[in-house]
Amino acid sequence: MAESAQRNSYLQAQVEAVHRNLRFLETVATSPIGIVTDLKSLREAIPAELASEERDRQAFQDVTGRGKDPRRTGLEASDVVRQTFEMIGKLTPEGESILSSDWTSRASKVLDRITDRLGRDIRQAVAASFDGIYVIVDPEHSNGRPVVEVAAKALSGGACAIQLRDKTGERRTVLDAAQKLQEMCAEAGAVFIVNDWVDIAALVNADGVHLGQNDIPIGRARTLLSEAQLTGTSNALQQEALDSESDGADYVAVGAMFATDTKQDTRPAGVETLKQVKGSVGVPVIAIGGINADNIGQIAYAGADSACVASAVTKADDPEAATRQLDELFKRA
Give the angle 7-10-13 at the CA atoms, nearest 5°.
Answer: 150
Catalytic residue list contains 90? no
Provide the residue count of the chain.
333
Q: Which residues contact 216 (CB under 8 A, 6 or more apart)?
A: 198
If you write DSSP's letter for every residue of 62-123 in order, what string do you get?
HHHHTT--HHHHHHHHHHHHHHHHHHHHHHSPTT--SS-HHHHHHHHHHHHHHHHHHHHHHH
d(CA 123, CA 142): 30
**Residue 126, C-beta contacts closer than 8 angstroms, at least 6 positions apart:** 191, 207, 208, 228, 230, 250
Alpha-carbon Rg for the chain, nearest whole angstrom, is 24
Residue 171 annotated among the catalytic residues of the structure: no
Q: Which of 72, 153, 165, 222 is catalytic?
A: 165
Single-letter amino acid code for the residue at 164: L
Catalytic-role residue among 78, 142, 234, 306: 234
Residue type, 285: V
Q: Which of 222, 263, 278, 324 is an active site residue?
A: 263
Contact 253, 269 (CB under 8 A): no
Catalytic residue status for 331: no
Residues with active-site annotation: 165, 234, 263
